[in-house]
Amino acid sequence: MMKVVKTIQELRQLLTEEKSQGKTVGFVPTMGALHRGHLSLVQRCKKECGVAVVSIFVNPTQFNDRGDLERYPRTLAADVQLLQAASCDVAFAPSEKEIYPEPDTRIFDFGLLDKVMEGERRPGHFNGVAQVVSRLFDAVKPDCAYFGEKDFQQLAVVSEMVRQLGLPVEIVRCPIVREADGLALSSRNALLTPEQRAAAPIIAKTLFAAVDRVCDVDLAALKKFVEDSINADERLKVEYFEVVCARTLQPVASLDDDCAKQACIAVHAGKIRLIDNVRLT
């Protein structure tokens, strides 16, 4: 039977008992509004670890837009039911005061990792991510933590934070889960109007088409193709499309650059902001 705990003290007591029996602890940090993408992480965590812990906490420090924070869906009762059905062992649903008993003033230096794409357009976002994930890691002390590749830049930042702080946790990267029409699963999808939802699959369709074209065009032509294809639908507006080195996240100068390349995109559907990415080469 899954346990729902709301304090760090209760969580630590529970996990200390589990670890004393030799069990490994796997952890999936979430902001709730769970979908099949989250549940795929939980299922892998459950398969690979003795205890599966999932946190549900909408972290205020990673929102640079107050309206985005207020709009973010909060569905705790439904989330708990989904986690029970997924055989999660522990759901950790703390209050803001529990995670931040006092303001977190730490400033992280991630070099250039957080200066592009999401970091460039959402000042302070990744610092807030590092604040909350480091606090959650301290509370759970997991052996492994599971993150989806939809948030490709976040994965790079969290991995670098773990390296800098010397935390004994393995970061496990998990593939993007998509709807049948290609749309990457996201909690924000629930906020789309029916018209916006009908348009949203154009994002993934265009990215997959870009993969098919990568050997036949140059970087400028590829960018123009992606932006023009998506912007042709008046319900969507590209905020950025970047082809970056998958390791450093820095934009490549050419599609011939000698590195693994990731195509990353952010698109507005009205006030809702959707991100996606695909491996190019």
In this structure, the answer to whether residues 165 and 57 fall within a common structural domain is yes
Exposed / middle / buried, residue 245 (Cβ in 10 Å: 0-12, 13-18, 19+): middle
Share of the chain above pLDDT 90, in %: 96
Q: Name which of 80, 100, 77 is nearest 90 in CA terms.
A: 80
Q: What angle do CA 138, 101, 51 make, to 5 degrees?
A: 30
**Which residues face 278 on adjacent strands?**
263
Q: Are the beta carbons of 92 and 54 closer than 8 angstroms?
A: yes
Q: Do 139 and 33 share a structural domain?
A: yes
Closest residue by Cα to residue 106 from 126, 84, 86: 126
Banded pLDDT at 23 (limits 50, 70, 90): very high
Cα(227)–Cα(230) distance, integer angstroms: 5
Instruction: Give per-residue pLDDT as tens, 64-116.
Output: 888 889 988 899 999 999 999 999 999 999 999 999 999 999 999 999 999 99
Q: Is residue 96 included in any domain, yes or no?
A: yes
Q: List the domain range (segments joined by +) for residue 230.
A: 187-279
Give the model confidence (pLDDT) of 130-187 as tens digits.
999 999 999 999 999 999 999 999 999 999 999 999 999 999 999 999 999 999 999 9
Q: Total domain count for the chain?
A: 2
Burial class (CB in 10 A: 0-12, 13-18, 19+), 216: exposed
Q: 202 and 110, same structural domain?
A: no
Q: How many CB atoms lie within 10 A of CB 221?
A: 12
Residue 181 domain-assigned? no
Give yes or no: residues 47 and 150 share one domain.
yes
Last residue of some domain: 150, 174, 198?
174
Residue 180 lies in a domain: no
DSSP state of 80: H
Tell me which of 131, 151, 174 is where a domain ends. Answer: 174
> In terms of pTM, does the model score above 0.85?
yes
The pLDDT of residue 64 is 85
**Which of the 8 DSSP states describes residue 168?**
-
- Which positions ≥6 away from 269 have C-beta within 8 Å? 192, 196, 199, 200, 235, 236
Name the residues annotated as catalytic. 38
Helix %, strand %, coil % for the chain, to 5?
45, 20, 35
- Based on the domain organization, do 151 and 114 belong to the same domain? yes
Using CA atoms, how far apart are residues 145 and 71, in angstroms rounded to an integer?
27
| Whether residue 89 is found in the same domain as residue 37 | yes
In the DSSP assignment, the letter for residue 237 is E
pLDDT for res 66: 87
Residue 83 belongs to some domain of the structure: yes
Same domain, 155 and 56: yes
Q: Is the distance from CB of 181 to CB of 40 less than 8 angstroms? A: no
For residues 49 and 158, state if they share a domain: yes
Q: Which of 120, 148, 174 is the last residue of a domain?
A: 174
Q: Are both 60 and 168 inside the same structural domain?
A: yes
> Which CATH number goes with the domain that contains 209?
3.30.1300.10
